[in-house]
Amino acid sequence: MSISIRKLHPVFVGEVQGVDCRRPLTQQEVAAIEAGMDEYAVLIFRDQNITDEEQIAFTRHFGELENYNTAGHIRKREDQRLGPGIADFSNLDKHGNIMSGEDRVWFFKLADRLWHSDSSFRPIPAKYSLLSGRTLPSWGGNTEFADMRAAYDALDERTRGEIEELVCKHSLIYSRHAIGFSKLTEDEVAAFRPVDQPLVRTHPTTGRRSLFLSSHAGAILGWTIPEARLFLRDLTEFATQPQFVYSHVWRLHDLVMWDNRATMHRARRFDRNEVRDVRRTTLAGDGLTAQ
Ligand code: MN
């Protein structure tokens, strides 16, 4: 079966046909999907009823799994519901019960509803993320994506020149503070010390430039905090205008794959009394981004 991709949005996002994500891919199939990622930055695979092991195996066709000692969502190892290699983005605890709205893990998760790029708070930010919809709520819970290449291309010359050499500080703590969640332990503060990321990045295979924004960004080197925060907020507002945004309405067993080097995304509201079980595999990035 040959792979075809149908564009779902004027500037990015493709829906892939002709791939069974449970099976090993040929080199040609891997190359076709990578070319699709370079062009569309977000790919949707429908009707992929996969296990965790199958999702991990599919992901590994495209690189090495991201592997950090500190989880992004402060779920302690002994509290985890899933095995290694796959991250639990559900609202369930390790026993499979819906977590309390006052659970710290829930507070941490809520900040994913701010625009961000996965692991931008890591020294080496993520390449692709793959999210599988295993159980979905009856309402809401869309995932929205914004094309940071198209946003960069649409900037005026003056702004482009202004941001060219800027470097931002990213930390998970900045995005949690943004929703008023600031009760972090000393260990968490130490684990999420800010890292440097350039505000403009160049894609390693396409050479396209993009805005490297994220709600994890909380400072710009050489700028005062208030000016930096306002400028980052302005840029984010610009970059997430409707012409750059696709809102994914989940269907059961969708597998959505995005390039964190070219996009931002955010989760949307749903009724937290309903189960939303989505699971993510993540590929390590290519190296340090700031020179
Ligand atoms: Mn995310």
Whether residue 275 has pLDDT greater than 90: yes
Whether residue 291 has pLDDT greater than 60: no
- pLDDT score of 1: 66
> How many A from CA of 42 to the centre of ligand 1?
13
Q: Contact 235/229 with Cβ under 8 angstroms?
A: no
> How many A from CA of 74 to the centre of ligand 1?
14
Mean pLDDT score, 167-179: 96
> How many A from CA of 143 to the centre of ligand 1?
9
> How many A from CA of 166 to the centre of ligand 1?
23
HSE (side-chain half, CA atoms, 13 Å) at 244: 24
Q: What are the structural domains, with CATH classification, of the chain? A: 4-282 (3.60.130.10)
> How many A from CA of 291 to the centre of ligand 1?
25
- pLDDT score of 290: 58
Cα separation, 86 vs 53, whole angstroms: 9
State pLDDT tens for residues 231-262: 999 999 999 999 999 999 999 999 999 999 99
- pLDDT score of 187: 86
> How many A from CA of 112 to the centre of ligand 1?
6
- pLDDT score of 207: 96
Mean pLDDT score, 206-212: 97
Whether residue 188 has pLDDT greater than 90: no
- pLDDT score of 67: 87
pLDDT band at 134 (very low <50, low <70, confident <90, very high): very high
22 by Cβ neighbours in 10 Å (0-12 / 13-18 / 19+) ranks as: middle
> How many A from CA of 250 to the centre of ligand 1?
15
CB neighbours of 2 closer than 8 A, spacing ≥ 6? 18
Whether residue 35 has pLDDT greater than 60: yes
